[in-house]
Structure 1
Amino acid sequence: MSDQQQPLTGSIQTDKSWFNLSKDELYRTVETSSQKGLTQEESVKRLQIFGPNEIETQQGMTRLQILMHQFKDPLIYILIAAAFVTLILQDYTDSAVITIVVLLNAVIGYFQESKAQSAIHALSKLAAPKAHVIRDGREMEIPGKDLVPGDVVLLTSGGRVAADMRIIHSNGLEVNESALTGESMITRKHSDVIDVENAVPGDQKNMAFAGTIVAQGRARAVVVRTGKSTELGKIAESVKDIGITKTPLQIKVDKLGHMIGYVIVGFAILIAMIGIWHQMSPTDIFITVVAMAVSAIPEGLPVVLTVTLAIGVRRMANRQAIIRSLPAVETLGSTTVIGSDKTGTLTKNQMTVRKIWSDQKFYSTSEAGYKLEGGVYDGDIKWETDEQSGLYQTLLAGTLSNEANVASLKLGEPQGDPTEIALHVSAFKGGIELSSIRDQITELDLFPFEPERQFMATLNQKGAKRQINMKGSPEAILSRCTHQLVDGEILDLDHESVRDAAAKMAGEGLRVLAMAYKDTNIDRFDGLSELETGLIFTGLQGMEDPIRPEALESIRISQKAGIRVIMITGDHIQTAIAIGRQLGLDPEEHGALEGKMLDQMSDEELDFKLRDINIFARVTPQHKFRIVERLKSFGHIVAVTGDGVNDAPALRAAHLGVAMGKSGTDVAREASDMVLSDDNFSTITAAIEEGRIVFSNIRKVTFFLLSTAVGEVIVILTAVIMNWPLPFVAVQILWINLVTNGLQDVALAFEPGEPGILKRKPRPVKEGILSGRLIERLGGVGIVLAVGTLGIFWWAMENTGGDVDMARTVAMTQMVIFQFFHVINCRSLDRSIFKVNFFSNKFLFVSMAAAMLAHLAVLHIGFLQSVFRTVPLNVEQWIMIVSIGSLVIIGGEIDKIVNRWRKSFIG
């Protein structure tokens, strides 16, 4: 490139296949030089054209917007209208009580959403790292945000890649791309042209992508994409475009609110027409309509929904599931499909040697992960260290031809390539004490791993003896071996048996490495001459990213609960199938579907495949997103788990996004609704159970509140039709609905789960909070409450000579006592109340006692009598009220018997 560079246009950041270009084509396209880089002047010009190398984060809601959001609810609209009407009628008590309900709901919701918003801002700080670049022929460090296309960057071990780059020179470069591609293996990079068309990021071995981490080696690369144009940036943009997916509970509550609104309007019109027919005055009609509206509105429902969900949040937090959005608490309970990432979610993301083939036999290891525990086993017998065996030499070569840090591993904070860490751990299990071996054996020289050679070697000295230790791919090692070590004897190499053993291990989804050694007298490596032949093969080590034991059990429990689990990973198809079958995700061996196949399928073809296939491999973020969208189009409630940047679009698009708390990236957590603080897949099973309990309790609370409302509406409608005085005035209805219910309905939110709730199939997707069977019971209970209340109102009028205040006090008290019996009935919608542990919800009985004391105060304290227009009751009236109130228990038990006979669950 000339010294006077011409500024480029923004077209450089289009989706060019940079991996297909030769180095010369690359230099010409971006107008740069591998030795001198850009001039400082040119970099400034390009920064103005392309903008900072930053990813725009979503703007959250302001505090005022969060506050206003609390009032966007159909039930709240109705309550505000009722408060306004009562204020016009100068019924200040009613208006004040309704206003307090609305404000209490807003305060609770505001603080919950503000907390979630703060978490989002804390997680969204995705500042680009520092970058070492060459400008004007000099190496310098600059902020990552100042990188521009054409910059020549030096990558070193441990650094984070700050932009998308085409590698032009690699010296053993290995990159951890699991956060971006989902692939558990460290990716080995090179600078050669890739001729494959439409290669997914995981197959672009000559590219380094923003957000990934250099695990080992060094490289020189040219920046080709920055900011929004990087693979990371594209994911962030797609997440932003997806928006927020409403949870099933939000949709159901909205539908319930609209339904209640329509019912209120319908009954208001009906009562007005009846009032006109009875020639009632406009004022009386208006007062009656307001009384009916107040009775029909479950004032406590918005508050108790929030409380029920908040209790669920607390319970889930105790089980390591952190909820970032209240309605998400219930979503797992209605989930029908869980789409899970593999690496770090179903697996440990810690490579582990599982099988060793040496001395012409297979050995196994115990324990998984990086902990220095367990042993090497020959069948069921633990292997005793034998320094003359091929197995010992295999383990020794694996830990000596190795660059992973031994000290950090022993401290419990392993550093280095996961494959090499796994070899250190297997050596320790075989009785090789890592620190002492490193003290006894000196490393004289090292031949680093090169992708084109597929091996690494070290020259070691112990005493006067010098030895070359080598590890690499079976093909690379075997081509350099002439003999093999078997039980202390050096024999001619049996190529066929070694290849058969390697093929068997690879068929089980293991990554296979071969080990060899050679005695020598050299002082250092001088080229490849000493490494090309004459080596002695010692054995094979097969490793995998092990599945989490708890994940296997959790998947089994989920499947029994009728929840389908699918695995969506960026890993290779053979690895994905092996892991998937271990997890029980492919019992009928339908196999897996690769991302490149998805690109060739129409939605209809993909829908057909989605019926049977539960394993998806080598997928991009766009593939994951498409799978989630197709599952949603079937009517499934979809939860997606993941920890990487590549999971973010699917996490946001799903009904419930579940991110890993420890290993998860900031982008994944920001896109999620729930974070697993222990990174444990089994926590999802616990969350499913808690979610079902939450929905069951919401259903109980809703049934309890609405059955009272139905009873009150029937009472008022019947009184209007019969041209009777209203059995309650509006303030008495508010007392029934808010104060007495307001304690008991909250208590129902603390109910423990129904036995066997996790074994039930997921609820029908289209089933609302009120199922058809529950609506039937709701009508039946409403009629019982209405008939009992109207009957005792008529009886009180007859026995008091038409004393309306006395009759209304009796009717109001009757409805309160009905609720005392009915709330006990609502503790289980399926089991007999006599089989429910009486003291399993102590808060319920405390609330009932408090409500009874409050009601007695309303009947006997002077100023409360004036507010609620009540009078004291005598013993005969109390006996009649309690006797009638017990009828709701009898009716509920009969209905439950019928339900059990039908084998139909409501709760």
Structure 2
Amino acid sequence: MDEHLLSSETELENNLETNLKEGLTNQEVEVKQEKFGKNELPQGKVTPWYIIFLKTLVEPILLVLMGAAVISIVAPIISNKGKIELSEFIDAIVIFSIVLIDAILETVQTIKARKSMDALKSLSKPKAVVIRNDMQQEIDASELVPGDIVVLEAGKYVPAELRIIESSDLTIDESILTGESLPVEKTHLPLKEITTILAEMKNVAFMSTFTTSGRAIGVVTKIGENTEIGKIAKSINENEEESTPLEKKLNSFTYWISGLSFILAILIFSTLFFSGDQKAWANYLMVAITLAIGVIPECLAAVVSITLSISTKKMVKQNVIIKKLQAVETLGNVNFICTDKTGTLTQNKMTVKKMIMDNKIITSKEYAKEKNDKHMDLFLKALVLCNDSVTEGNERIGDPTELALVDYAEIIGYDEQDSRDIWKRIDEMPFDSERKMMTTVNTIDGINTAFTKGAIDQLLQRCSKIMVDNVLRDITEEDKKQLLEMSNELSKDALRVLAFAYHLDYDKLTDKDDLEHDLVFLGAVAMIDPVRETAVNAVQLAHDAGIEVVMITGDHAITALAIARDLDLAHSEYEVMSSEDLNRLDDNQLLRVIEQIKVFARVNPEHKVRIVDALKQKGNIVSMTGDGVNDAPSLSKADIGVAMGITGTDVAKQASDIILTDDNFETIIKGVNEGRNVYQKIKRAIAFVIGVNLANVLAIFILSVINSVSPLEATNILWMNLIVESIIALSMGMGANDPTLMKIKPIKGKNSLFKGLGYTFVKVIIFTTIASIGAYYFGMMFVTSDDLIRIIGNDSFGSNWHAALRSKDLTVEQKIEIGDFGRTAMFIAITCAPCFYANFIKLSNWKSDKKINLIVNKQLWLASMMAILLNIIVVFIPGFNEKILNLASIQSYSMNNWYLIPGALGISIIPVMFMLLMDGITFGVYHYRPDPWRRNRILTQELVELDIQKEKQKRKSKKKVNH
């Protein structure tokens, strides 16, 4: 139905089955509630906790871990020909424990984020004043039905979609739907033409919009999901949730590591089988599967979840609520932030910035310092008396421009409520769109004085006198021309100009229409919703971090460009695109220019979605901020949707990935910083875990080929992977953030999880492998001929342990016992060496500065020392060392081999020494001995940055002169 076109009360009553005077009866309400249901916005399906938990368990990386746990049970059974011992289940128990811990952590975090979001709902139980049974009463808004008669007053939310049937000076803030920052005047008169443009439906009040001034009565036409806000909420609920970039990368990594482990298992088994005793195939299979499992980072899933969880807790303290763990990393990779203007970049509070006073432009700060004379007294009285807004504590009711006037007057010492109590209003002419003026009459010192405010061009036509320098004189045409020129100058800077006048002849008037004639011009104010001071700095930080900021607003292009200039976002009209220009471009044309536009003005909701989609098609990771219902589709479409927690609607919060509890653009940049650090910590953990695992597998593979027997047992590898690596990798995510990461430009498009890790992998794999093999041979030096005779029963090999290991006449058990000393030394090397160099695996922006940026991770140092101590302790625990880890027993140590453990520890320090040496050489060459090509590039970059700084300084100086 097109209720906005119906002209008579009878048509409205028939269509909506109601009585516009008396309202609905209780019986009619009951019938309609059964037919239409509750007046509530559609909610997204709430996934039960157990479904979240089960979904977490079927994530690829956890499935691989569970497969590994099953294999760790099956392989020993095959190796032992069906005999099962309790010790065989240790590996599986540990792996399953890690899987459960990770699933529980992610489930708990998801539920906590959901609870935080529920707590942020601004309208948990909105009320509505209705006329039912010919009586006015207040009810829950959810109980409204079509046909209900609703009373609207200033300061109240619109509880449903209404056709206005009576109105008085009604203005409604529809910014959550249209993006318009200024309130819209509403009327009860029917429209002449059908329209689908919300901003043109002047006799309709939309659900969840805010009544800023006036009073009205409306009849409910639509409720719940049938309202405009409800339609958008429903469409958001129907959207399918996309995987975040981190989820995609981790899934890809899981498939890659699974394939690698499978290939390694076949390769190692084949090598051992064909180079050793074929009868021991079951043992070789066990070794191959164990080493393949060793490649898989069992602790990685827990590392990722715990690192993300720690960061989300940090971000809550910084006013950021993360609804989904992986969204933190995605925020760190963002290279385009599309942001709303009002309330995010600006204060969402109109403020008096400049004045036209005494025929000149001055700043509001300068005027506030002037002496309070007769002229100022009359002007300030005009600000507060010709005004209907009310401020009391945190409550602010009224038009934003009127609120700005009383705020400014209060700075100088005029309180609007005290003023109105002292100087009573006795008459008024309300504002209307045709006159563009408002007049009130107040009694001041026994004289009835009229104050008028309005558009300066209209007001000047009614003025016959002007007050300049505290002197009253006739106004000239030259005065009017000069005042209009000053007004136009201020308007070019997107300032809204409002003029004020007065006269003292109210008692002499015979016709009220003459109230706004023969006025005395007092002056004018120029207002704007100013930028947040923090937003200016935040935009600069974003640019330094290589992030483009795009402002999307429903305001006019001139206003938007003026704000963009203050924010250093855009400086020319060529960087601004209006909705009309956007509509003229097809998708291919938009793609060609999308990355050059910094401001989009007068946009509709569908435009926002189109802008985000075009940026994503260009390979960008896009964040969209918003608070209104009109922002919800684009919030859902963006890689990261950021909703405002204070002014944001429930629909916007529901569509978003992140919620800002302080509605501040600067907080987004803090989130980006945290996201980049999270991603870096995760990559660092991956570099450490995968590098160490591959080094261990490579060392074992080489020694197995040389000696025809594995130098380490499965329990040695699992101790390393599940105990040592877990302790260190988890503590990597607990360190302080690296501020230099905000100086790196994000890589556009898709990039691998391993990008930038090649150099680290090479260092870790080469030096750890060499140290491990070296430690093994160091340990085997202590094997004597007496040891071989004791194990073999004869002296056929003398002291040649290598020949004994290669022999096909010895059993696997005998060869394992021969290798006790080598295994012990190698165990110390593979478990302790990573503890020494874990603190020096740096992926920070070392190329950006010649100064070395040292970030001490106390938790990591503590974890490393604890892991080293733990490794040494287990070597000397009777029973555990020889029965479970197959290391040398305590009884085997003597005065001849006491330095086996200290020597192995010394070898484990060698990798970190070589790594630091290589890092020092690389750092020095990069900064102090650059190649000719890079030297020229550095010089060019320095010149470009110098030019940019000069241009910025020039713009700042120009702005200061204009002010």
Same fold? TM cut 0.5: yes
Q: C-alpha distance in 2, partners of 1:834/1:349?
A: 43
2:650 matches 1:663: no
What amino acid does structure 1 have at the position aligned with 2:290? Answer: A
2:111 matches 1:87: no
Please list the CA deviations of residues 308-336 of structure 1 after superposition, one character each: whole Å capped at 9, or x if unmatched.
22232233334333333222222222110
Partner of 2:902: 878
Counterparts in 2 of 1:835 and 1:713: CA distance versus 1, 3 Å: farther
Partner of 1:369: none
Partner of 1:492: 475
Counterparts in 2 of 1:22 and 1:607: CA distance versus 1, 3 Å: farther
Please list the CA deviations of residues 110-166 of structure 1 after superposition, one character each: whole Å capped at 9, or x if unmatched.
221221132344446866734344567665555433434444433222222122223
Counterparts in 2 of 1:876 and 1:863: CA distance versus 1, 3 Å: closer
2:47 matches 1:61: yes
SS across alignment from 1:585: coil
2:153 matches 1:156: yes
Q: C-alpha distance in 2, partners of 1:175/1:715?
A: 73
Counterparts in 2 of 1:296 and 1:644: CA distance versus 1, 3 Å: same
Partner of 2:624: 640
2:891 matches 1:867: no
2:372 matches 1:385: yes
The CA deviation at 1:736 is 1.0
Task: In structure 1, list runs of 5 or more residues that go unmatched.
Answer: 1-11, 367-374
The CA deviation at 1:215 is 1.7
Say which of 102, 105, 130 aligns to 1:105: 102
The CA deviation at 1:427 is 2.1
Partner of 1:419: 401
* Conserved? CA contact 2:828–2:904, under 8 Å: no
SS across alignment from 1:590: helix
Count how many residue pairs are aligned between Structure 1 and Structure 2: 871
* Conserved? CA contact 2:735–2:858, under 8 Å: no
* Conserved? CA contact 2:116–2:321, under 8 Å: no
* Conserved? CA contact 1:825–1:889, under 8 Å: no
Counterparts in 2 of 1:612 and 1:196: CA distance versus 1, 3 Å: farther
Counterparts in 2 of 1:581 and 1:197: CA distance versus 1, 3 Å: farther
The CA deviation at 1:356 is 1.3
The CA deviation at 1:99 is 2.1
TM-score by length of 1: 0.89
The CA deviation at 1:413 is 3.9
The CA deviation at 1:640 is 1.8
Please list the CA deviations of residues 615-641 of structure 1 after superposition, one character each: whole Å capped at 9, or x if unmatched.
122323332223222222222111222
Q: C-alpha distance in 1, partners of 2:510/2:332?
A: 65
* Conserved? CA contact 1:133–1:151, under 8 Å: yes
* Conserved? CA contact 1:242–1:649, under 8 Å: no
Partner of 2:940: none
Say which of 844, 861, 864 aligns to 2:860: 844
Q: C-alpha distance in 2, partners of 1:20/1:608?
A: 42
2:781 matches 1:781: no
Q: C-alpha distance in 1, partners of 2:549/2:193?
A: 33
Please list the CA deviations of residues 692-716 of structure 1 after superposition, one character each: whole Å capped at 9, or x if unmatched.
2222221111111111111122123
2:239 matches 1:242: yes
Partner of 1:808: 823
Partner of 1:70: 56
2:773 matches 1:756: no
What amino acid does structure 2 have at the position aligned with 1:455? Answer: M
Please list the CA deviations of residues 723-764 of structure 1 after superposition, one character each: whole Å capped at 9, or x if unmatched.
521122121111112212222222222333445221111134
SS across alignment from 1:611: helix
Counterparts in 2 of 1:96 and 1:398: CA distance versus 1, 3 Å: same
Partner of 1:7: none
Partner of 1:363: 362
Partner of 2:699: 715
Q: C-alpha distance in 2, partners of 1:269/1:627?
A: 50
Partner of 1:734: 718
Q: Note the 1:24-63 alignment, pairs <5 A.
A: 30=16, 34-35=20-21, 45-63=31-49
Q: C-alpha distance in 1, partners of 2:120/2:235?
A: 18
2:537 matches 1:553: yes
What amino acid does structure 2 have at the position aligned with 1:844? Answer: L
What amino acid does structure 2 have at the position aligned with 1:205? Answer: K
Q: C-alpha distance in 1, partners of 2:199/2:262?
A: 59
* Conserved? CA contact 2:156–2:210, under 8 Å: yes
Counterparts in 2 of 1:191 and 1:434: CA distance versus 1, 3 Å: closer
Partner of 2:212: 215
SS across alignment from 2:432: coil
What amino acid does structure 2 have at the position aligned with 1:786? Answer: T
What amino acid does structure 2 have at the position aligned with 1:778? Answer: F
Counterparts in 2 of 1:414 and 1:33: CA distance versus 1, 3 Å: closer
Instruction: Identify the structure with the greater helix proportion.
Output: 2
What amino acid does structure 2 have at the position aligned with 1:383? Answer: E
* Conserved? CA contact 2:329–2:675, under 8 Å: yes
What amino acid does structure 2 have at the position aligned with 1:717? Answer: F
What amino acid does structure 2 have at the position aligned with 1:248? Answer: P
Partner of 2:664: 680
Partner of 2:796: none
Higher gyration radius (CA): 2
Counterparts in 2 of 1:66 and 1:347: CA distance versus 1, 3 Å: same
Counterparts in 2 of 1:60 and 1:792: CA distance versus 1, 3 Å: same
SS across alignment from 1:449: strand
* Conserved? CA contact 1:74–1:261, under 8 Å: no
Counterparts in 2 of 1:475 and 1:830: CA distance versus 1, 3 Å: closer
Q: Note the 1:354-753 alignment, pairs <5 A.
A: 354-366=353-365, 376=367, 382-387=369-374, 389=375, 391-406=376-391, 408=392, 411-432=393-414, 434=416, 437-487=419-469, 488-493=471-476, 494-522=479-507, 528-595=512-579, 597-722=581-706, 724-753=708-737
The CA deviation at 1:675 is 2.8
* Conserved? CA contact 2:60–2:254, under 8 Å: yes
Say which of 170, 194, 198 aligns to 1:201: 198
Counterparts in 2 of 1:189 and 1:262: CA distance versus 1, 3 Å: same
Please list the CA deviations of residues 232-281 of structure 1 after superposition, one character each: whole Å capped at 9, or x if unmatched.
11221222122333322222222222211121122223234434534364
Q: C-alpha distance in 2, partners of 1:449/1:602?
A: 43
What amino acid does structure 2 have at the position aligned with 1:741? Answer: E
The CA deviation at 1:547 is 0.7
Task: In structure 2, list runs of 5 or more residues that go unmatched.
Answer: 77-83, 785-800, 802-817, 935-963
Q: C-alpha distance in 1, partners of 2:709/2:576?
A: 71
What amino acid does structure 2 have at the position aligned with 1:217? Answer: G
Q: C-alpha distance in 1, partners of 2:400/2:228?
A: 24
- Select between 59-68 and 571-580 the one with higher mean Cα deviation: 571-580
The CA deviation at 1:40 is 6.1
* Conserved? CA contact 1:274–1:721, under 8 Å: yes
SS across alignment from 2:751: coil
The CA deviation at 1:82 is 1.6
What amino acid does structure 1 have at the position aligned with 2:255? Answer: H
Q: C-alpha distance in 1, partners of 2:518/2:223?
A: 49
Counterparts in 2 of 1:798 and 1:764: CA distance versus 1, 3 Å: farther
Counterparts in 2 of 1:52 and 1:739: CA distance versus 1, 3 Å: same
Say which of 867, 886, 890 aligns to 2:914: 890
- Select between 707-716 and 624-633 the one with higher mean Cα deviation: 624-633
The CA deviation at 1:423 is 0.7
Q: C-alpha distance in 2, partners of 1:541/1:73?
A: 61
SS across alignment from 1:522: helix
Q: C-alpha distance in 1, partners of 2:851/2:725?
A: 24
The CA deviation at 1:813 is 1.0
Counterparts in 2 of 1:434 and 1:403: CA distance versus 1, 3 Å: closer
Say which of 824, 846, 857 aligns to 2:873: 857
Counterparts in 2 of 1:31 and 1:602: CA distance versus 1, 3 Å: farther
Q: C-alpha distance in 1, partners of 2:35/2:924?
A: 71
TM-score by length of 2: 0.84
Counterparts in 2 of 1:739 and 1:300: CA distance versus 1, 3 Å: same
**Sequence identity percentage:** 33
- Select between 391-400 and 699-708 the one with higher mean Cα deviation: 391-400
What amino acid does structure 1 have at the position aligned with 2:503? Answer: K
